[in-house]
Amino acid sequence: MESIRIVIADDHSLIRQGIKSIICQDQGMEVVGEAADGLELLQLLQGREADMVIMDITMPGMNGIEAMGRIRELYPDMLLLILTMHSNRQYFYHSIAAGAHGYLMKEDSDTELLNAIRTVCEGKTYVSPQLSQEVTDEMIAAFRDRQRVPLVRLTEREKQVLQMVVKGYTSKKMAEILCLSPRTIDHHRASLLKKFGMKSTVDLVKHVLRNSIVVPE
Amino acid sequence: MESIRIVIADDHSLIRQGIKSIICQDQGMEVVGEAADGLELLQLLQGREADMVIMDITMPGMNGIEAMGRIRELYPDMLLLILTMHSNRQYFYHSIAAGAHGYLMKEDSDTELLNAIRTVCEGKTYVSPQLSQEVTDEMIAAFRDRQRVPLVRLTEREKQVLQMVVKGYTSKKMAEILCLSPRTIDHHRASLLKKFGMKSTVDLVKHVLRNSIVVPE
DNA sequence: AAAACAATTGGGGGAATTACCTATTTTTGA
DNA sequence: TCAAAAATAGGTAATTCCCCCAATTGTTTT
């Protein structure tokens, strides 16, 4: 059982020291390098063999998100753990999209850091409980918002047409399917726009999809 | 400062006893009634004054989700805390949709119960950390699935135009904003349709939204 | 029974989008 | 440095979308 070789990237040397001292307490892991920004980190990785990078998002020069992208290309097996003070969910989403395996907050406890490292090493994803809570809260808020959308009463034809509009059909195609004049379809489409208070088909489709008024497929 | 009056609904008397004993340890809250199913709970609420209901989802007769719906109608200010052994996310989503203010797991610690009660009383939403983690993991999985969508490389202009197409702008409006000829906008729109293999704007918008290629708003 | 209303069916016209061309200038990558 | 790609823009035709309006049918209200 070899120990986990970790590289730390953070523009504050104090933070790097802190992380190092916590990691050193555990026999199963060691710090094999330090960098102050993304570019330095990439240079460091060329020389050293490492299993995991613990990095901040906001760094001068090349930021963490960009550096992660490069690392994913050059070393696909590298484990990436974000350790940041940003509870901003956008940062989190971007990190996940960029391929992060874990997202930890600097406010989290020391044991959480060791937890996160071990979890990520097992191939699982680690998310700071704090942020996890926020993501859930955001989901709940979106869920409740949906319940509040004013109810619009649609006729049978309008429902049929709306379904097909969302599928991307043209009025002509719908007219063929329903054996009607394209003009009739146009009328129903106009009604739909008016009833939902939308000014274009794009807005209509976005609205009904976001509010689950029609189910895609 | 009056104490929080709580009614417990669970079909297992043992669970009810457990909840009661935990709540009794806190001076700020008291149990003012117990019920073994949804119907019993509704009858109970007619007589007693209460601030909060702590209830399970699966109960004989009327289940928790249904009971919650009725309670929301009859007593809109009643606080609803779900305490269940189900980590199933569907139960969670249904509970939130039915108007639950908190969702706690029976596996959570005693102090979590007291935490949850206090959090809900403050008007906030409480979600069991365990479940919160699951919801986040599910979101990450969905996020990563989306990343698997074949990568389409867009130019800067195309990104700008796509952003505005999703906003529902017409080519003319986009041309004004970007100080370009509408023809140029049309060209970029055609490129976008071709690159993504879509045949209409509606399909394009659906595709990029579903796959988070652009972020709405 | 007459009036009012909603749903469905259409037409005409103008604006917007798409398709299929061409062409110049600038930027970028190998 | 040389070729490819991107950004710019024009032309034309076909299609599609969005707005005005009107006729028909059935239901509900007065």
- CATH 3.40.50.2300 placement within chain A: 4-131
CB B84 within 8 A of CB B66: no
Q: Strand, helix or coil at A169? A: coil
What is the structure's pLDDT at A29? 95
Preferred mutation among B136, B173, B215 to probe A, highest tally of A CBs within 10 A: B136
pLDDT at B110 over 80: yes
- Residue A69: pLDDT band by 50, 70, 90 thresholds? confident
Q: Does domain B4-132 have CATH number 3.40.50.970?
A: no
Preferred mutation among A140, A143, A170 to probe B, highest tally of B CBs within 10 A: A140
- CATH 3.40.50.2300 placement within chain B: 4-132
Question: What percent of chain A shows pLDDT beyond 70?
Answer: 97
- Residue B113: pLDDT band by 50, 70, 90 thresholds? very high
Burial of A74 (0-12, 13-18, 19+ CB in 10 A): exposed
> Higher pLDDT residue, A158 or A66?
A158
pLDDT at B147 over 90: no
Chain B hits for A101, Cβ within 8 Å:
none
pLDDT tens digits, residue range B73-86?
A: 899 999 999 999 98
Neighbours of B88 (CB within 10 A): 13
Record the tokens describing residue A125, joined without a space.
């994803």
Nearest to A105 by CA among A65, A68, A63, A56: A56
Give the H or E element holding residue A52. Answer: strand A52-55
Cβ contact, residue pair B129, A127, below 8 Å? no
Burial of B101 (0-12, 13-18, 19+ CB in 10 A): buried
Chain B hits for A165, Cβ within 8 Å:
202
Question: What percent of chain A shows pLDDT beyond 90?
Answer: 57
Rounded Cα gap, residues A205 and B202, in angstroms: 7
**A203: contact with B, CB 8 A cutoff:** yes
Half-sphere exposure of residue B59, counting CA atoms within 13 Å on the CB side?
A: 30
Record the tokens describing residue A184, joined without a space.
């009739």
CB B95 within 8 A of CB B118: no
CB B113 within 8 A of CB B132: no
Question: What percent of chain B shows pLDDT beyond 70?
Answer: 94
Residue B188 approaches strand D within 7 Å at CB: yes
> E strands, A72-185, where?
79-84, 102-105, 126-127
- CATH 1.10.10.10 placement within chain A: 156-210
- Mean pLDDT of chain B, nearest integer: 89
Q: Does domain B156-210 have CATH number 3.40.50.300?
A: no
Only one residue has tokens 């004013």, namely A150
Assigned CATH class of A4-131: alpha beta
Lowest mean pLDDT among A64-68, A131-135, B82-86, B210-214: B210-214
Residue B198 approaches strand C within 7 Å at CB: no
> Any idea how long chain A is?
217
Interatomic CA–C1' length for residue A99 and nucleotide C8, angstroms: 53
- How far is Cα of residue B6 from the mean position of the Cα atoms in its chain? 24
pLDDT tens digits, residue range B158-216?
A: 889 999 999 999 999 999 999 999 999 999 999 999 989 999 999 999 998 887 676 66
Nearest to B92 by CA among B79, B102, B107, B78: B102
Record the tokens describing residue B210, joined without a space.
């579903």
Residues whose CB is less than 8 angstroms from the CB of residue B76 and which lie 6 or more positions away in sequence, other chains included:
none
> Closest-CA residue in chain A for B204?
A168
pLDDT at A130 over 70: yes
Burial of B103 (0-12, 13-18, 19+ CB in 10 A): buried
pLDDT tens digits, residue range A176-194?
A: 999 999 999 999 999 999 9
Helix axes B201-210, B182-196, angle to 10 degrees: 60
What is the structure's pLDDT at B152? 75
**B131: contact with A, CB 8 A cutoff:** yes
CB B147 within 8 A of CB B132: no
